[in-house]
Amino acid sequence: MLELRKGVDILTKVGGVQSLDVAQAIFADKLDAANQSKLANIKNEEALLTIANAIAMCQPDSVFINSGSEADVQWVRELSLARGEEQELAMPNHTVHFDLPEEQARIIDRTFYIVNPGEDISVLAKKCQREQALKYIQENMVGIMAGATMLVGFYSRGPMGAKAAVPALEITSSAYVMHSANILYRNAYEKFDAEIERAGVLFKNVHSQGLNRPEDLPNARVFMDRSWLTTFSTFCTYAGNTLLLKKGNHRFAVDLATYFKIGEELSEHMFITGMTGPGGRKTFFAGAAPSGCGKTTTAMVGTDFIGDDLAQLWIDDAGSLRAINPEKGIFGIVRDVNREGDPYLMKCLREEWTEVIWSNVLIKDGVPYWEGSGEDVPTEGINFQGEWYLGKKDAHGNPIPISHPNARVTVPANAIENYNSDIGESAAGAPVKVITYSGRDADTMPPVWAAKNASEGVAIGASIVSAATATEIGASGVRRQPWANSPFIPGALGDYMNAQFKFFNSDKFTDETRPLLAGLNYFLTHAARGSEGKGLLGEKRDVKVWLSWLERRAHGEVDAIETPIGFLPLYEDLKALFAEIDKDYPRSLYDMQFSLYIDNLVGRIDLQHEAYSKEIRIPEQLFEIYRSQRAGLIALKEKFGPVVTPEQLLSL
Ligand code: SPV
Ligand code: MN
């Protein structure tokens, strides 16, 4: 299982600082008077020793303490420009950052959990023995900040005071990383000591890009020390590899939920958003999707946007499911963001409205351009591969797109016009009634379905599959993506699954408050349904209909068709919801989207059953659900053949 504070604490070992006296001497040596006086506000011993050890290890020329004041935040912005980590763009407060051409996404091949002898980790992750990680860090991080300024930031992952919020230190030599942290995380400098006390844990992150040279990239590493809640990141700049407050600390939060808060908290790769239903009521959703599968778009379809990437969930004393966003901004994929599908985000990107850090897009005359914007684009400029012109090919002879498929924009949440800051910033969190799970699935699951009970909902999460996207370097093919959280589940999937069953079946929920769990799939194709049409069966604006149907279902206002995989919507209900978005919804489309393709469904269940059979500690409940769904589907096939229409299902 997992034990905290076990084995050598690598940062302390390499830094060698054990006492506050030694720490103070280091601060006196490396910090000027102004920064010493800022640091004097922090008294927590673990925080101070972490900073001192990071200084002793990385040996920067100077240290900047980011108090979160407007002056400090501005200082970080200016440093990033002065050092060339970002460049100014034509629009005020917009800048662009480029990662090296070979580091445009998470470097999953160089990302490791640091483990103690005998500890098992997820079969989907890589591990590195503590001794080896220590050696690597000793050899590569000592003196890595020579000639540079170390930046130290104090953040909270979530609204301060919230049950599931955790304070975190970000220590980096990259001004771009700290600039991004200032947009994406709440500054907790003023209350840092109290927050560590309240939460009982502190996440610690140390990063340096070194000299940021392509030749160092093979030596890039992302290490997560599960036992000491410390991350180390070297020789890289992409925020998913360096700003480890995000996915590095998310992994620690998953561990805490899985091993220390079973049945009480979950830490998920989910958006959070509200939908306004009949009579103006607000219904909040939290939904999981793998990277690059429309999570940001879904979040912004709601009337009350809260977050697009991560959710910390817990059950409050009244039995209500609550969710906070550990972040306060988005680091969103910009490909295919356009006026029609993403009006709020487009306002941030194309109007003088907010601060934006663009990354890995095309720049021409100070204006960014990207794939799928629906705008006219120039035929030359500078992009993630350097000088670019229309028709330019990469080393393999493939045309280079104007922007990388994982090109991103970093934008504060409060600039998104439908952001609900009252709930988004509240320590009580958003009251969540619907949980969704989705992936990029061309041929099997319908656009929306609702689980029959909490355990079957857990099975939906366990069974996500998705085609690979551009967010991980080297990923390809259709893969299992349990809960869309698997890249961030450090321990055995069986342990994580056990925590899911316990949480959603918790007797703290009442019949009224237990959330509805559901599946979503936007990626069914015409081809998979034998239709002549091209591409996807749905479009971005349909998302609102699927969410609205779940909204009504969560309030018991729409009936549904019971099937072995869960409840499906009735045609009339969808038709009425489509009418609300001024769209006709032909019966033929409904039949294509909601008929059960039994062979595909059974194939999917068999795939999952087999894969999970090979893993340790998978709760038996999962296999029971698969067996019963499979038997139900086979019975339907015997009666109706391999494709079962909603009409046939209703005739039963
Ligand atoms: C994702 O890939 O899921 C992201 C971006 O949200 S990253 O920071 O790379 O994880
Ligand atoms: Mn993500």
What is the reported pLDDT for 13?
A: 98
What is the reported pLDDT for 130?
A: 98
What is the reported pLDDT for 215?
A: 98
What is the reported pLDDT for 74?
A: 98
What is the reported pLDDT for 476?
A: 60
Q: How far is the CA of 268 from the centre of ligand 2 (A)?
A: 10
pLDDT band at 588 (very low <50, low <70, confident <90, very high): very high
The pair of structure tokens assigned to 416 is: 């998104």
Q: Whose CA is nearest to atom 7 of ligand 1?
A: 240
What residues are in contact with ligand 1 under a 6 Å CB criterion? 106, 239-240, 246-247, 291, 309, 331, 471
Q: Whose CA is nearest to atom 4 of ligand 1?
A: 291
- For residue 220, what are the contacts with CB-CB under 8 A and spacing of at least 6? 103, 107, 110, 234, 235, 236, 241
Bridge partners of 66? 153
pTM above 0.95, yes or no: yes
Mean pLDDT value across the chain: 96
The helix-helix angle for 571-580 and 543-554 (nearest 10°) equals 120
3-state SS class at 216? helix
Q: Whose CA is nearest to atom 3 of ligand 1?
A: 291
What is the reported pLDDT for 477?
A: 65
Q: Which ligand is nearest to the CA of 246?
A: 1
What is the reported pLDDT for 473?
A: 73
Q: How far apart are CA 360 and CA 176, in angstroms?
A: 13
What is the reported pLDDT for 341?
A: 87
Q: Would you list the DSSP string of 469-538? A: -TTBTT--SEEE-GGGTGGG--S-HHHHHHHHHHHHT-TTS-TTTSPEEEEE----BTGGGT-SS-SBSS
What is the reported pLDDT for 360?
A: 98
Q: Name which residue leads in pLDDT, 122 or 366.
A: 366
Q: How far is the CA of 131 from the centre of ligand 1 (A)?
A: 29
User: Ligand 1, residues 246, 269, 485: which to mutate, most atoms within 8 A of Cβ?
Assistant: 246
How big is the chain, counted in residues?
652
pLDDT band at 472 (very low <50, low <70, confident <90, very high): confident
Please write the tens of the pLDDT for every residue from 475-528: 666 789 999 999 999 999 999 999 999 999 999 999 999 999 999 999 999 999
Q: How far apart are CA 384 and CA 404, in angstroms?
A: 7
